[in-house]
Amino acid sequence: MGSDTLAAVVGATRAVLFDFDGPVCDVFAGHPAPGVALHLAEALAAYDADLGSKAYGTDDPMEILRLSPQGGESALRAIEEELTKAEVTAVRLAGPPIPGAVAALEAARASGRKVAIVSNNSTACVRAFLMLHELRHLVDAVVGRAPYWPDAMKPDPHSLLRAASELKAHPHDCTLIGDSVTDVEAAKATGGRSIGFANKPGKERALDDAGADVVVTSMSSVADALGSS
């Protein structure tokens, strides 16, 4: 979509919500997700062999977390805690922020808007990354996934509504920048806007089809739009 559309979306935005894995950090770049998923599958199999077999069929750690409640409270707690530890390790190995992300955070802050990071990753891992790269001062609120409650992860709007509340902003005045269909779906559920970040081939169509208000291919374009508004 054109820059006029991006400018219009940004112009209507009073609070900017950044998804974490994608727009800000490539979480598993240095500690690959398939290896984390295998570790979680092994942990889940210790509680429920059949459930573990299902878990071995995915290389997405978040999907294993979603499966874990079927194994009971102890399994859920174990997987949540193991995933959080793995995420904290991963962000320390992930390398620098996504190109343009820091500029976008700075531009959002300089424009006078409130800023939050809203993630399906744990709050601990987001905060570890922000501290490591000295970015904490650019963010008013960090809302990670609700511990032991995987059903509240995006596309559920829970985390976005919580972020809006912490920022003292109406959800309709918030815009989420995210790289997944579930980000777009969560934003739509709140009545807010979304900027789809197509950071891989094929994502532009998927994010557009999901109903993103605008789709961009670089975080620098978001920074430029925020800086001009």
Would you state the structure tokens that stand for residue 26, as one six-digit string? 């490539």
Q: Where are the domains of the chain?
A: 3-26+96-227, 33-93
* H-run or E-run covering 225: helix 219-227
pLDDT in tens, 203-224: 999 999 999 999 999 999 999 9
Q: How confident is the model at residue 4 (pLDDT cuts 50, 70, 90)?
A: low
Res 59: pLDDT: 96
Separation CA 180–CA 144 (nearest Å): 16
Instruction: Evaluate whether the domain defined by 3-26+96-227 bears CATH number 3.40.50.300.
Output: no
Confidence bin at 2 (pLDDT 50/70/90): very low
Task: Give the DSSP H or E segment for 224.
Answer: helix 219-227
pLDDT beyond 50 at 5: yes
Each residue's pLDDT tens digit, 94-107? 999 999 999 999 99
Q: Which two tokens stand for residue 121?
A: 């990753």
**Average pLDDT, rounded, for the chain:** 96
What is the reported pLDDT for 219?
A: 98
C-alpha dihedral, 146 to 169 to 172 to 165, nearest 10°: 20
> What is the pTM (predicted TM-score) of this model?
0.96
For 142-188, write each residue's pLDDT tens digit.
999 999 999 999 999 999 999 999 999 999 999 999 999 999 999 99
State both tokens at 69: 């409640």
pLDDT over 70 at 60, yes or no: yes
Say if residue 155 is preceded by a cis peptide, omega within 30 of 0: yes
